[in-house]
Chain A
Amino acid sequence: MTTVIVDGIEFAFDFQDQRIDVPSNITTLNVYPLWRAIREAQATPIGISYPVIAKAAGLDTLDATQGISTFITVTLFDAWEVNSLLGGGKFVLTGGNLIRDDNQDPFRDNPLVTYFAFFSQSGTVTTVNTGSVVTPQDKTDIVNGVWGYTGA
Chain B
Amino acid sequence: MAISDDFSINTATGAIRHDSGSTVYSLLDFHAYATDFSDNPENIDNDVPSKIAGIRDILKPAIITLLNNGPEATPYNIDDTAAQFLNFGSIEQDGGNTLYTGLRTIGSPLVSGSPIYIVQNGAKLAKFWPDGHARVLVKAKTGGALIDSGDVEVFSRKFGQTYSVFDVNLAAGSEQSAAITTSVDSSISLSLGAAQTILAGLTITAGDVNLDLGNGNGSKLYKGSIDCNNNPLSDVYQALMAACEEGSAETIVGVEGWRYRKLNAAYNEVGSAPFGIFAGGTFFVARGWALLNVPAGDAENYELKAHDDTRQVPPVSTGVEIGGLVAGDSVLVGISLTAGGALDKSQYTLAAGNTSGLGTITLSSSPAVDTPAAGTVRIGDDIYQYSSYSGAVFTLVGTLSQTYSASTPCYIPLIDTVASGSSESVTVIYSGSPRPLGGSVRRGSGGDEIVAFPISATMGASSVSINTVRNSEVG
Contacts and interface: CB of A to CB of B under 8 A. Distances in A.
Contact of A72 (B330, B331, B378, B474): B474
Nearest to B376: A45
A52 B332 CA distance: 13
A52 B475 contact: no
Contacts of B393: none
Given A39-B445, A42-B452, A48-B332, A32 B475 contact: yes
Interface in B409-448: 416, 439-440, 442-445
Contacts of A51: 342
Interface in B316-333: 330-332
Given A56-B473, A56-B474, A46 B440 contact: no
B449 interface: yes
B91 interface: no
B237 to A, nearest CB: 48
A61 to B, nearest CB: 12
B381 A35 contact: no
Nearest to B383: A45
A35 B445 CA distance: 11
A56 B475 contact: yes
Contacts of B451: 55
A79 interface: no
Contact of A39 (B331, B345, B439, B475): B475
B180 interface: no
Nearest to A15: B381
B444 A39 contact: yes
A57 B472 CA distance: 11
A47 B383 CA distance: 12
A101 interface: no
A40 interface: yes
A58 B204 CA distance: 70
Chain A interface size band reads 20 to 34
- In the complex, which of the residues B332, B449, B452, B473 has the most CB atoms of chain A within 10 Å of its own CB atom? B452
Contacts of B199: none
Contact of A49 (B343, B449, B473): B343
Contact of B442 (A35, A43, A56): A43
B375 to A, nearest CB: 13
B381 A59 contact: no
B475 A36 contact: yes
A44 interface: yes
Interface in A23-50: 32, 35-36, 39-49
A59 B475 CA distance: 7
A40 B330 contact: no
A49 B445 contact: no
A58 B474 contact: yes
Contacts of B378: 49
Contacts of B383: 45-46
Contacts of B332: 48-49
B440 A48 contact: yes
Contacts of B445: 36, 39-40, 43
Given A48-B332, A51-B342, A42 B444 contact: yes
A44 B446 CA distance: 13
B443 A43 contact: yes
Interface of B: 330-332, 342-343, 345, 378, 381, 383, 416, 439-440, 442-445, 449, 451-452, 473-475
25 contacts: A35-B475, A36-B475, A39-B444, A39-B449, A39-B473, A39-B475, A41-B444, A42-B444, A43-B330, A43-B452, A45-B330, A46-B383, A47-B442, A48-B331, A48-B439, A48-B442, A49-B332, A49-B378, A52-B452, A55-B451, A56-B473, A56-B474, A56-B475, A59-B475, A72-B475
Given A43-B452, A49-B381, 17 more contacts: A36-B475, A39-B445, A39-B473, A40-B444, A40-B445, A41-B444, A42-B452, A43-B443, A46-B381, A46-B383, A48-B330, A48-B442, A49-B378, A52-B452, A56-B473, A56-B475, A72-B474
